[in-house]
Amino acid sequence: MNRCVQCKEFNIKAAGPMARHGFGKCRHDVPGVSKSVEHAHVCARYIACDAETVAARAAWVAKLDGGRE
């Protein structure tokens, strides 16, 4: 299983105001669709991010709602 937040095709900032609620956008989804940063699934289009990007996203997600695991 992959997590969207660890994928190169996922963009938290593109979700606009929904980013504050833990959502981001996949480059392959239709407009108006957001996915949770915690969303785990099997995706044929998954491309792993570099470790630095994953760490930066994880730090940002940890700040949401006082942190989450």
Q: What is the pTM of this model?
A: 0.78
**How far, in Å, are 14, 31, 32, 37, 42 from residue 69 at the CA level?**
22, 28, 26, 11, 20
User: How would you write the pLDDT of the chain (69 residues) with one tens digit per residue?
Assistant: 788 889 999 999 899 899 888 899 999 999 889 999 887 888 899 999 999 998 998 888 888 766 544
Question: Structurally, how many domains does the chain consist of?
Answer: 1
Residue 65: the pLDDT is 60
pLDDT number for residue 20: 87
Do the beta carbons of residue 4 and residue 53 sit within 8 Å? no
Q: Which domain holds residue 14?
A: 2-66
pLDDT at 69: 47
pLDDT at 37: 86
